Amino acid sequence: MGVLGRGLLGVYLSVLVLLPVAALLAQSAKGGTAAFWREVSNPQALAAIKLTLIISAIVVIVNAIFGTLIAWVLVRDEFRGKKIVNALIDLPFALPTIVIGLVLLALYGGGSPLGIDVAFTRASIALALLFVTLPFVVRSVQPVLIELDRSMEEAAASLGAGPVTVLRRIVLPALTPAIVSGVALSFARAVGEFGSLVLITGNLPFKTEVGSVYVFGQIQDENLPAAAAVSVVLLVVALIVLGGLALVSRWRSQHVL
């Protein structure tokens, strides 16, 4: 690739990613560490960050369980319409986030035909995040499960291990790295999620306001220092999770295989 091509790539990456991220970091560092902590430890900001982390953690645990189960059913079970179910898993990636919020509100909001109304509660945050992050664990466990050598399971079963023992001692250990990877991706996504939450959660400070929504509110109020500080916290959390994942999978590919 020529110098011109590399230059254009560099300019594009700078305009879109490098400069904006640098500006964000510069803004959050403007008043020094003291100012940064003052913004982050503002009670409303702190409540939003805490809520984001706690609900994301809960969502990720549910994802680990149901995602693995769904992957299992898609790989090991046979039933009519399996291909369609498999295709549906990607729906949350294809559907615009604002539509996801509206869709959930139509069924689980006020006037719900099921009589379940989670609108403006913390449960609505979890519901939206579960929808948005559904594909991650399924899609990372599925290929591993397909490749998994079944002779190990058969050997264990022929030696007298029951299905639960086989699952616990043979299958789950083999799937753990894939589950962890799906969980990390889900968590990073959940921490930053915004679009699917704006309609369904009501954005009530101290109650249903998550980090991204708090940042949005501060931008609207032109309080850029507060917006930038909480943004940096969200960014750092996501980077730690994704960076940790990258390091672990690098280490594994060098040491295990």
Partner 1 sequence: MSFSKLAARTVALGYLALLLVAPVIMIFYRTFEGGLAPVWTAINEPNAIHAFWLSIEIVAIAVPLNTAFGVGMALLLERGKFKGKLLLGMLIDLPFAISPVVVGLALVLVYGKTGWFGNWLIGHGIQIIFSVPGMVIATAVVSLPFVARETAPVLRELGTDAEQAAATLGASGWQTFWRITLPAIRWGVVYGVVLTTARALGEFGAVSVVSGRIEGQTQTLPLYVQDQFENFNVTGAYTAAVVLALLALGTLVAMNLLTRRTRRRTTV
Footprint of partner 1 on 194-223 (CB under 8 A): 194-195, 198-199, 211-213, 215-216, 219
CB of 155 to partner 1, least distance (A): 19
Among 131, 153, 156, 208, binds partner 1 (CB under 8 A): 131
Q: Is residue 18 close enough to count as binding partner 1 by CB under 8 A?
A: yes
Q: Is residue 61 close enough to count as binding partner 1 by CB under 8 A?
A: no
CB of 78 to partner 1, least distance (A): 10
Terminal CA-to-CA distance of the chain, rounded, Å? 34
Q: Which stretch binds partner 1 (CB under 8 A): 40-48, 117-125, 148-156, 230-238?
A: 230-238
Q: Which residues contact 232 (CB under 8 A, 6 or more apart)?
A: 24, 25, 28, 36
Tell the residue number behind the tokens 């679009």, with chain if given: 195
CB of 93 to partner 1, least distance (A): 7
CB of 2 to partner 1, least distance (A): 7
Q: How many residues bind partner 1 (CB under 8 A)?
A: 86
Q: Is residue 191 close enough to count as binding partner 1 by CB under 8 A?
A: yes
Under 8 Å between Cβ of 238 and 190: no
Which of 68-92 are b and which e, b meaning 16 or more Cβ less than 10 Å from the residue's Cβ?
bebbbebbeeeeeeeeeeeeebeeb
Q: Which is nearer to partner 1, 47 or 103 (CB)?
A: 103
Rounded (5°) CA angle 22-26-31 = 170
Among candidate residues 40, 62, 32, the one with its CA nearest the CA of residue 138:
62
Among 66, 75, 152, 174, binds partner 1 (CB under 8 A): 66
User: Alpha-carbon distance 190 to 186, whole Å?
Assistant: 6
Binding mask 80-119 for partner 1 (x = CB under 8 A): -----x-xxxxxxxxxxxxx--xxx-xxx----x------
